[in-house]
């Protein structure tokens, strides 16, 4: 599966910000609402990128509902070699960081917005990321103060929006797209999740959440549709078990759909202007 030639160049980021010295491309994964499978998509996209030969990391920016550790089968407090920086836990070849490593499973986070955004920017800057081609940031759902502040403070090569085909989901996804436009972050594409369900018993195909909503939204705003992902029980079960379906069943139809979306994401990154500020020579 590995194809090192596909590794992307370091892309331009927002005006007034400098690229991270060890990361070629930071890509935010957002949605206008919860319940569309954004974190599941982020986790499987990260593993799919790694399978395509990309050095990848995943930052769980959902302070109030961190799910990346459980989905990646990771637990325990990360090590800190100098009591300042943090070694990112790794699974399936992916560097990760999440507030979930630092709190108990049942501990609620009752921080206000500024504390949450400060924690996320600290994770971004103080984690000892490997020399990464792509860092995916799994944003919290919605378009509020936390999301807006993070997209203004973190240097982004672009964003990916996750939606379902359902009209109410695409309505909220449009708000996310407009938020990224507002902060001058290019939308690299839309991922339509839960697009089609195939009955495991009889093979009957149903579009439980409507049909073509992501495609219509992509056409309306002139952004690519990176992929339409299936709704199937294995994706949920493998996520709950801590082994994403892209790793557990790499040849499955679902895993192939994630890799196709990841491949199209790389194609869109290849179109981005190169960063004008030099970063570590090992990344060039």
Asked if residue 47 has pLDDT above 90, the reply is yes
In whole angstroms, give the CA distance from residue 74 to residue 84. 21
Residue 106 covered by a domain: no
Residue 170 covered by a domain: yes
The string of pLDDT tens digits covering residues 154-184 is: 999 999 999 888 777 677 888 889 999 989 9
Tell me whether residue 65 is annotated as binding. no
Structure tokens at 143: 């378009």
Residue 187 covered by a domain: yes
The string of pLDDT tens digits covering residues 34-45 is: 778 899 999 999
Contact (Cβ atoms closer than 8 angstroms) between residue 182 and residue 156? no
- Would you place residue 195 in the very low, low, confident or very high pLDDT band (cuts 50, 70, 90)? confident
In whole angstroms, give the CA distance from residue 215 to residue 222. 10
Residue 158 covered by a domain: yes
Residue 20 covered by a domain: no
pTM for this model (two decimals): 0.90
Smallest Cα–Cα separation from 187: which of 138, 219, 221?
221
Look at strands 187-198 and 205-206 and give their pairing.
antiparallel
What's the CATH number where 206 sits? 3.40.50.300
Asked if residue 113 has pLDDT above 70, the reply is no
Residue 89 covered by a domain: no
Structure tokens at 230: 């299936």
The string of pLDDT tens digits covering residues 242-277 is: 999 999 999 999 999 999 999 999 999 999 999 975
Contact (Cβ atoms closer than 8 angstroms) between residue 11 and residue 181? no
Tell me whether residue 263 is annotated as binding. no
Domain that holds residue 210: 4-12+26-60+132-270
Tell me whether residue 34 is annotated as binding. yes
Contact (Cβ atoms closer than 8 angstroms) between residue 189 and residue 265? yes
Phi, psi (deg, nearest 5) at residue 158: 170, -175
Asked if residue 219 has pLDDT above 60, the reply is yes
* Cβ atoms within 10 Å, residue 214: 29
Tell me whether residue 113 is annotated as binding. no
Q: How many domains does the chain have?
A: 1
Per-residue model confidence (pLDDT) at position 198: 60
Tell me whether residue 43 is annotated as binding. no
Average pLDDT of the chain, as a whole number: 86
Tell me whether residue 33 is annotated as binding. yes
Per-residue model confidence (pLDDT) at position 74: 96
Strand partners, 134: 25, 56
Residue 151 covered by a domain: yes
Tell me whether residue 39 is annotated as binding. yes
**How far are the Cα atoms of 24, 184, 233 from residue 8, in angstroms, in the given order?**
8, 21, 33
In whole angstroms, give the CA distance from residue 248 to residue 230. 16
Residue 282 covered by a domain: no
Tell me whether residue 29 is annotated as binding. no
């Amino acid at each position: 599966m590995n194809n090192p030639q596909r590794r992307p160049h370091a892309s331009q980021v927002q005006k007034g910000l400098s690229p991270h010295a060890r990361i070629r491309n930071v890509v935010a994964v957002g949605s206008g609402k919860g319940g569309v499978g954004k974190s599941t998509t982020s986790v499987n996209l990260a593993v799919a990128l790694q399978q395509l030969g990309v050095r990848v990391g995943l930052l769980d920016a959902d302070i109030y509902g961190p799910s990346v550790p459980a989905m990646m089968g990771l637990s325990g407090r990360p090590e800190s070699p100098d009591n300042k920086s943090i070694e990112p836990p790794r699974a399936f070849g992916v560097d990760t960081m999440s507030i979930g490593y630092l709190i108990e499973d049942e501990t609620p986070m009752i921080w206000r917005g500024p504390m949450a955004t400060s924690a996320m920017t600290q994770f971004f800057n103080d984690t000892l990321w490997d020399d990464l081609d792509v860092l995916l940031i799994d944003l919290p759902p919605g378009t509020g103060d936390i999301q807006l502040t993070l997209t203004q403070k973190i240097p982004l090569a672009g964003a990916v929006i996750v939606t379902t085909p359902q009209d109410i989901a695409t309505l909220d996804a449009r708000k996310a797209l407009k938020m990224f436009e507002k902060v001058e972050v290019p939308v690299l594409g839309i991922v339509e999740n839960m697009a089609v369900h195939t009955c495991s018993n009889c093979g009957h195909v149903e579009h439980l959440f409507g049909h073509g909503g992501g495609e219509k939204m992509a056409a309306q705003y002139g952004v690519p549709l990176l992929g339409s992902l299936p709704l199937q029980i294995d994706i949920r079960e493998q996520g709950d078990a801590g082994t994403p379906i892209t790793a557990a069943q790499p040849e499955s139809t679902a895993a192939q759909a994630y890799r196709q979306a990841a491949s199209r994401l790389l194609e869109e990154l290849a179109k981005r202007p190169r960063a004008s500020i030099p970063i570590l020579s090992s990344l060039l």
